[in-house]
């Protein structure tokens, strides 16, 4: 045991023993996850109240800390990795990726310049090339890894802003016209967040309506852009979505690209979820027209079995992105190679707001290699099959109906009847501890949504979720 007050890190022997203990803890968690309630029963504050409000003066032993992991922390965890967790877009850990995370944590390097860890940079460059090819984007696109799609989008729109107002980096927006961004009513809220961050105002996001299949109404987009030009505003960018958050609908990117060309507007394709579909030959159509975009985001942490967080912004204008963000302070000059993103001696710090960057590529490299293209394809295809099976159960039932066409791994449906019943079903399913689904609103009505993307989900788990949903629909006084 470490002497109280000893300096330095844990002694090697003690650390080795703890690593073995932690490995057992991790393996047991993974093995036993299906026996756990997915959602904990804790009330707000239940965890915090067990933690001291100030860091205690005295060091705690690792034994105590690891006991507290089980005693204090675990009761407040939602088990996203549970195969019956079908909320949001499932981001699942998996064995190879977990080993990659462990290696990255052990190394703890910063991939800010090539020189600060060549392997971290070069692995990142290679892995994003794999992903670019997997999602069928042409070689003209360069990929940059960020934590999330929200952050990647803000970077893409920063470049669009500099295109519209070339002096924006140096002088800000003095004398600039009003810059407008368009996205469908189904597009992700990260569009507004990016505009807030860039100082362009969420009020300058125009939400365009959708058709029956929840795709952006291109005629309405045309009218909105024309109207804004007439009013003296500048259409800065359009965000098209391939796999919307609620229903996984796919916008007509090619038609939208044509409008962007007419207005010299930046086209961003949010393929955070849906890009993975293009890994399948039968799914390639989803990326139709995406090669015409200025930027495209794909989140391997959504449907490519890379755990949180790992998002790739692909752009045909990496040099413009660098021109917007690159600042090399004196103290970093010795380690800055200044290579372009297409070369391998690239300094990724030049392509965004972040300086320190985790070695994220390691987990992606391990996860993707361990699957291979065929393993990736078969899992994505199986998730689509499971979604179709679930949609079949909905269609065959008298109490439920589909709320939107099933797409990719997403099925939106509703209990026939009022919104309150559907809200109650979500609440009851979660409260059961056996399954997890979410709700969404489609054409103004509350609907239920399952998102299949967990590497461990099988048809047996799906049947359990369907049972929980049907049990949740049994009317009681409170739901009537």
Ligand X SMILES: Cc1ncc(COP(=O)(O)O)c(C=O)c1O
Asked whether position 407 contacts ligand X by CB under 6 A, the answer is no
Q: Which residues of 1-27 are buried (b: 16+ CB within 10 A; e: fewer)?
A: eeeeeeeeeeeeeeeeeeeeeeeeeee
Tell whether the torsion through CA atoms of 385, 387, 388 and 392 is positive or negative: positive
Whole-number Cα distances in Å, 306 to 91, 143, 360, 386: 8, 16, 10, 20
Whether 245 and 266 have beta carbons less than 8 Å apart is answered as no
Nearer to ligand X, 91 or 113 (CB): 91
Sequence-distant (6+) residues with CB within 8 A of 135 are: 271, 275, 276, 278, 279, 287, 290, 296, 298
- Of residues 165, 240, 272, 429, which one binds ligand X by CB under 6 A? 272
Sheet holding 142-146, edge to edge: 142-146, 311-315, 295-298, 266-270, 234-241, 179-184, 205-208
Instruction: Find the shortest distance in angstroms from Cβ 297 to ligand X.
Output: 7
Nearer to ligand X, 94 or 299 (CB): 299
- Of residues 101, 124, 270, 424, which one binds ligand X by CB under 6 A? 270
User: With CB under 6 A as the contact rule, which of the stretches 18-26, 241-249, 259-267, 314-322 interacts with ligand X?
Assistant: 241-249
User: With CB under 6 A as the contact rule, which of the stretches 63-71, 174-182, 268-276, 371-379 interacts with ligand X?
Assistant: 268-276
Asked whether position 150 contacts ligand X by CB under 6 A, the answer is yes
Nearer to ligand X, 160 or 336 (CB): 160
- Of residues 110, 136, 148, 397, which one binds ligand X by CB under 6 A? 148
- Of residues 116, 125, 247, 311, which one binds ligand X by CB under 6 A? 311
Rounded CA-CA distance 11/5 in Å is 13
Rounded CA-CA distance 136/246 in Å is 24
Instruction: Find the shortest distance in angstroms from Cβ 65 to ligand X.
Output: 30
Residue 311, classed as helix, strand or coil, is: strand
Whether 412 and 422 have beta carbons less than 8 Å apart is answered as no
Residues binding ligand X: what is the number (CB under 6 A)? Answer: 15
Nearer to ligand X, 151 or 415 (CB): 151
Asked whether position 413 contacts ligand X by CB under 6 A, the answer is no
Structure tokens at 286: 């989803």
Tell whether the torsion through CA atoms of 317, 318, 321 and 323 is positive or negative: negative
Nearer to ligand X, 168 or 312 (CB): 312
Closest of 443, 380, 381, 379 to residue 412, by C-alpha: 443
User: With CB under 6 A as the contact rule, which of the stretches 238-246, 254-262, 347-355, 394-402 interacts with ligand X?
Assistant: 238-246
Instruction: Find the shortest distance in angstroms from Cβ 141 to ligand X.
Output: 18
Nearer to ligand X, 153 or 168 (CB): 153
- Of residues 241, 315, 432, 440, which one binds ligand X by CB under 6 A? 241
- Of residues 190, 204, 315, 446, which one binds ligand X by CB under 6 A? 190
DSSP letter, residue 72:
I
Nearer to ligand X, 273 or 314 (CB): 273
- Residues in 86-145 that interact with ligand X by CB under 6 A: 89
Nearer to ligand X, 243 or 472 (CB): 243
Whole-number Cα distances in Å, 57 to 54, 73, 322: 9, 21, 45
CA–centroid distance for 228 within its chain: 31
Rounded CA-CA distance 401/209 in Å is 23
Rounded CA-CA distance 275/298 in Å is 6
User: With CB under 6 A as the contact rule, which of the stretches 79-87, 225-233, 270-278, 279-287 interacts with ligand X?
Assistant: 270-278
- Residues in 278-307 that interact with ligand X by CB under 6 A: 299
User: With CB under 6 A as the contact rule, which of the stretches 39-47, 117-125, 265-273, 326-334 interacts with ligand X?
Assistant: 265-273
User: With CB under 6 A as the contact rule, which of the stretches 32-40, 76-84, 147-155, 347-355 interacts with ligand X?
Assistant: 147-155
Whether 448 and 51 have beta carbons less than 8 Å apart is answered as no
Residues of the shown chain interacting with ligand X in the complex, contacts defined by CB under 6 A: 89, 148-150, 188, 190, 241, 243-245, 270, 272-273, 299, 311
């Amino acid at each position: 045991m470490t002497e109280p007050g000893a300096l330095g890190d844990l002694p090697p022997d003690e650390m080795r023993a703890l690593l073995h203990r932690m490995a057992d803890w991790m393996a047991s968690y993974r093995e036993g996850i299906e026996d756990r309630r997915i959602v904990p029963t804790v009330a707000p504050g239940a965890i915090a109240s067990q933690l001291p409000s100030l860091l205690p003066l005295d060091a705690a032993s690792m034994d105590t800390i690891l006991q507290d992991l089980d005693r204090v922390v675990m009761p407040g965890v939602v088990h996203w990795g549970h195969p019956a967790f079908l909320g949001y877009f499932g981001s699942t850990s998996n064995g190879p990726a977990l080993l990659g995370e462990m290696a990255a944590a052990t190394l703890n390097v910063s991939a800010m310049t090539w020189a600060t860890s060549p392997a971290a940079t070069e692995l990142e460059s290679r892995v994003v090339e794999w992903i670019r090819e997997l999602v069928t984007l042409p070689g003209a696109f360069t990929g940059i890894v960020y934590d999330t799609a929200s952050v990647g989008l803000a970077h893409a729109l920063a470049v669009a802003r500099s295109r519209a107002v070339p002096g924006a980096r140096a002088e800000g927006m003095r004398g600039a016209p009003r810059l407008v961004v368009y996205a469908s009513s189904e597009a992700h809220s990260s569009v507004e967040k990016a505009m807030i961050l860039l100082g362009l105002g969420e009020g300058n996001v125009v939400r365009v309506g959708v058709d029956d299949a929840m795709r952006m109404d291109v005629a309405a987009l045309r009218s909105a852009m024309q109207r804004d030009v007439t009013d003296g505003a500048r259409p800065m960018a359009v965000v098209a979505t391939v796999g919307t958050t609620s229903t996984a609908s796919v916008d007509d990117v090619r038609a939208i690209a044509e409008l962007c060309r007419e207005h010299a507007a930046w086209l961003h394709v949010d393929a955070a979820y849906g890009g993975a579909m293009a890994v399948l030959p039968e799914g390639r159509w989803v990326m139709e027209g995406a090669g015409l975009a200025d930027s495209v985001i794909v989140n391997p942490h959504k449907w490519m079995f890379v755990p949180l967080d790992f998002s790739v912004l692909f752009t045909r204008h990496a040099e413009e992105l660098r021109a917007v963000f690159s600042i090399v302070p004196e103290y970093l000059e010795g380690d800055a190679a200044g290579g372009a993103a297409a070369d391998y001696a690239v300094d990724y710090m030049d392509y965004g707001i972040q300086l320190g960057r985790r070695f994220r590529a390691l987990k992606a490299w391990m996860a993707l290699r361990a699957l291979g293209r065929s393993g990736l394809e078969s899992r994505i295809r199986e998730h689509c099959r499971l979604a179709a099976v679930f949609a079949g159960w909905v269609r065959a039932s008298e109490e439920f109906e589909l709320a939107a066409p099933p797409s990719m791994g997403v099925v939106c449906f509703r209990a026939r009847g009022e919104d309150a019943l559907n809200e109650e079903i979500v609440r009851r399913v979660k409260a059961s501890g056996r399954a997890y689904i979410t709700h969404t609103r489609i054409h103004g009505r509350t609907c239920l949504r399952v998102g299949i993307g967990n590497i461990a989900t099988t048809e047996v788990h799906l049947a359990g979720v369907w049972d929980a949903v049907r049990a949740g629909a049994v009317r009681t006084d409170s739901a009537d």
